Amino acid sequence: MDEDRIDAMLRLGEVHSSILENFVSRVREGARLIDIAEESERRIREMGYEPAFPTNISVNQIAAHYTPFPGDDGSIPPSSLVKLDMGAHDKGIIVDAARTVVLDDRYENMAEVAREALLKAIERMAPGRKLIEVSEAIYETIVSSGYKPISNLTGHKIEIYRLHAGIDVPNVPVRGNYRIKEWDVFAIEPFVTTPDSKGYVVSQGEPLIFSLRKKVGTRDEVERKVLKSIERNYSKLPFCERWIWNEMGARVNDVLIRLTKKGALFPYPPLIEVSGRPVAQYEDTILVTPEGAINLTGGNK
């Protein structure tokens, strides 16, 4: 990997970490979800980058993939557990990070276990090691602390303009022989829930986030306009209706659903812990160098 790209990744990670920590401080009871999402995305753009995906604000049993829709009047509820997940990119170079904000002391330890599992996983990120060893670190940290990992959510390899590049980092060890390579980039993200939960998520509700799957033909003028906007602005990175609405000035959720049914878009519905238990998450983006792992988004964590 050339030095210019490494420098770009380091700068992006530092800026993104600062933005994320700033908006973590804004997650408080009564704060409007749409304000947090849109202001955080705006801040990324003001710093000269682009969001790699819509800001996710997932509350309590919602583990991931909730972003506000146009006109969303939702707010942070009292005594909640909030996952703030943000991504940024610089001409396709991507960083992805998340933090859990605890508004109920009962969940403080669970969130800390998620953070500790992330740190233990990063310790095992080195060239030549099997990725399953990273999963083992996550699993062992969570289970030994009396909690349960989410079995069907994973970290993921990142490549240029590819947020999910085909190699997963499960929170539960499974078969896999992938060996970590020099200059690999991975988002590591332990998800933790209560010991009495079932420990897996299911999709619930209409998708709020989408990505381009393939080009399709359509005679519908609005569908063609929306597809052109997606291809021009987002490539295959995730986007949401809010972003299309900001450009077109109209609700287009029904258009996005139609395009999904035609195979043009890949949908990301909200993911809910199936037994309704709260979920904590911590995530950072890791660059693997010949000397070991660099936490690009760790900030002062």
Q: pLDDT for 239-277, tens place per residue?
A: 999 999 877 777 899 999 999 999 999 999 999 999 999
Exactly one of 41, 96, 168, 284 is catalytic; name it.
Answer: 96
Cβ atoms 143, 189 nearer than 8 A = no
pLDDT at residue number 249: 74
**Helix, strand, coil shares, percent, the chain, to 5:** 35, 30, 40
Mean pLDDT of 41-54: 98
d(CA 121, CA 134): 5
Residue 283 marked as a ligand binder: yes
Residues across the chain: 301
Q: pLDDT for 84-140, tens place per residue?
A: 999 999 999 999 999 999 999 999 999 999 999 999 999 999 999 999 999 999 999
**Helix (H/G/I), strand (E/B), else coil: 141:** helix
Residue 85 marked as a ligand binder: yes
d(CA 64, CA 157): 18
Q: Which residues pair with 286 in a beta bridge?
A: 186, 295
pLDDT at residue number 1: 85
Residue 4 marked as a ligand binder: no
Exactly one of 41, 50, 184, 283 is catalytic; name it.
Answer: 283
Is residue 104 among the annotated active site residues?
no
Burial state string for 232-267 with b = 16 or more CB within 10 A and e = fewer than 16: eebebbbbbbbbbbeeeeeebbebbbbbbebebbeb
Is residue 133 among the annotated active site residues?
no
Residue 156 marked as a ligand binder: yes
Exactly one of 72, 112, 159, 164 is catalytic; name it.
Answer: 164
Domain boundaries defined on the chain: 3-204+270-295, 209-268
Mean pLDDT of 64-75: 96
E-state strands within 158-238: 168-170, 185-188, 191-193, 201-203, 209-212
Token digits for 270? Answer: 């909200």
Is residue 231 among the annotated active site residues?
no
Secondary structure (DSSP) of 225-246: HHHHHHHHHHTTS-EEHHHHHH
Residue 65 marked as a ligand binder: yes
Mean pLDDT of 77-90: 98
pLDDT exceeds cutoff 90 at 75: yes
Mean pLDDT of 57-83: 97
Residue 16 marked as a ligand binder: no
CATH domain 3-204+270-295 topology: Creatine Amidinohydrolase (3.90.230)
Reference 142, options 167, 112, 169, 168; nearest CA is: 112
Secondary structure (DSSP) of 61-119: TEEE---PPTT---BPPTT-EEEEEEEEEETTEEEEEEEEEESSGGGHHHHHHHHHHHH
Residue 189 marked as a ligand binder: yes
pLDDT at residue number 150: 98
pLDDT at residue number 69: 95
Is residue 164 among the annotated active site residues?
yes
Cβ count within 10 A of residue 103: 17
CATH domain 209-268 topology: Arc Repressor Mutant, subunit A (1.10.10)
Residue position matching structure tokens 């509350």? 59
pLDDT at residue number 299: 77
**Helix (H/G/I), strand (E/B), else coil: 257:** helix
pLDDT at residue number 272: 98
d(CA 201, CA 171): 13
Is residue 89 among the annotated active site residues?
no
Q: What percent of the chain has pLDDT over 70?
A: 99
pLDDT at residue number 300: 56
Is residue 16 among the annotated active site residues?
no
Domains 3-204+270-295 and 209-268 share a fold: no
Exactly one of 38, 41, 90, 189 is catalytic; name it.
Answer: 189
Q: pLDDT for 148-205, tens place per residue?
A: 999 999 999 999 999 999 999 999 998 778 999 999 999 999 999 999 999 999 999 9
